[in-house]
Chains A and B, each alone.
Chain A
């Protein structure tokens, strides 16, 4: 029985699927749903620009969450929405700890090996490091 489920969301098709799965699981288990989007500053940043990126990115992520709020309300699931700043995998695991999530749901974008090498994979990192069940949706 799940009591709380955390889903990582970034607006991609894979994360849409992850959200739908998490919502459906939350509904069937009567669990609370935590939806987290992560605004990511440049890896190598500079002064004013980093502040601008964080501001714009937070705004963008807040807008991403608007349709999800409606979906969760329609499904009758108690949902919480957060926008964090930092490395997505780190923030997902930290948020899961904070809310004692029973399950983490993430989408897998199915990037090529080369793209994974360059950009890393959030889902792979979460699966590797999380100390709780992880559902990867493709």
Chain B
């Protein structure tokens, strides 16, 4: 066991380092962990890190499943019920534009084979719901029709991504049919069963709620894997179906987050980063640049007109659109699925993961630099005015 504990200490040491860097640089821990993984992979080597050991793969896979479940559980079912038509239209456009655009660019501009091109489209199609949620709260849009529609649409976009990932590469055999049938049956049953189970056996020290959810997630994950599909598809669907029950139980969500962020997701993101080959990326940077540009352009083409149609001010509309390009979790999950199933090679994987990282960083920097809506003056006031402003009581009355 000495080797196992040593490796576990190494991985969690890297996770700690990544966590500290994310606080200092004010970036997502996932981003920081991927970058630490890239550096560790280059310096230590993937073999020495034990990236293919069974227990490392289990922790990483479990992290991806629980994280995806939690992402699905963030859905607000009431808003979704009220806005599902508009949300589906906007969400599908937001998914299809980068999906088809990036797949076409990979196929015809980079010459990738059809399966690798479709995977590039899937990896680039995602949107980070919570990042858009933060923007909506910031502008006070989260309570408006516009904000609710865009937020609900983000779930449709991500649902499109996980469905495409789960079914596009499936062999469509009897196993696929059994998997889809079981998923539909369980997804319809859990909203009825879960609240009853939690009322009867919940709030005990033995954490039966967590065990119940993990049985469902790992069981469906096994079924997905048996059918040559991807475990995040049932996890996301289950999350959405349980958003009204589990999603509202903040104490349970927090406990799952602790499990997820504290132990499992670091293994996932560091492992994903460690497979990135910097020499391959430097040798052929065109794929990375092209994927990034096409993703951002297609998101803008697909989403910006929608924000304008809802009469969102220009800057707010562009700010929201640019932040909808962020999608680290599902982008990384899709890329790693492609690598582990032999759909893409290491050079293509490196280009995709780097484009996923860049699509989180660059549009955000552009959005903050040029499209952050100023509530006030378009340009800084002169220093002379600033000096007279300091501590000078106004002569005017309130509100004048």
Taking Cβ atoms with an 8 Å cutoff, the residues of A that contact B are 1-4, 40-52, 54-55, 84-87, 90-91, 93-94, 97, 100, 102-103, 119, 127-136
Contact = CB atoms under 8 A, between A and B. Distances in A.
B374 A47 contact: no
A49 B376 contact: no
Give the top 7 A-B pairs by smallest Cβ distance, nearest first. Answer: A86-B138, A50-B130, A46-B28, A3-B398, A128-B380, A41-B134, A51-B130
Given A93-B376, A127-B386, A130-B376, A50 B360 contact: no
B389 interface: yes
B377 A3 contact: no
Given A46-B28, A90-B372, A54 B134 contact: yes
B216 interface: no
A131 to B, nearest CB: 5
B386 A44 contact: no
A41 B323 CA distance: 13
A120 B395 CA distance: 32
A47 B381 contact: no
Interface stretch (B66-74, B87-95, B199-207, B291-299): B66-74
26 contacts: A2-B394, A3-B398, A40-B26, A41-B131, A41-B134, A44-B326, A44-B361, A45-B128, A46-B130, A46-B131, A46-B329, A47-B330, A49-B29, A50-B130, A50-B134, A84-B138, A90-B373, A93-B376, A100-B398, A103-B393, A127-B386, A129-B380, A130-B389, A132-B394, A133-B389, A133-B391
Interface string B371-400: 011111100110000100111111001110
A50 B128 contact: yes
A47 B129 contact: yes
Given A127-B389, A129-B377, A130-B376, A45 B134 contact: yes
A129 B31 CA distance: 32
B356 to A, nearest CB: 10
B375 A94 contact: yes
A129 B14 CA distance: 41
A129 B134 contact: no
Contacts of A43: 26-27, 364, 368
A44 B390 contact: no
A138 to B, nearest CB: 11
Nearest to A131: B376
Contact of B26 (A42, A131, A134, A136): A42
A51 B138 CA distance: 13
B130 A47 contact: yes
A114 B156 CA distance: 43
Contacts of B74: 47-48, 51
Interface residues of B, number: 52
Contact of B133 (A4, A51, A90): A51
A91 B131 CA distance: 17
Given A46-B328, A46-B329, A3 B397 contact: yes
Contacts of A135: 390-391
B261 interface: yes
A132 B396 CA distance: 11
Contacts of A41: 131, 134
A103 B328 CA distance: 41
B56 interface: no
Given A91-B138, A133-B393, 4 more contacts: A46-B128, A47-B328, A48-B329, A131-B377
B128 A128 contact: no
Interface string B54-93: 0000000000000100110010000000000000000000
A48 B264 CA distance: 14
Contacts of A128: 380-381, 386
B137 A54 contact: yes
Interface centre among A1, A2, A48, A131 (most CB of B within 10 A): A48
Nearest to A127: B386
Nearest to A97: B375
B398 A49 contact: no
A129 B386 CA distance: 9
Interface in B31-62: 31
Nearest to B363: A44
Nearest to B388: A133
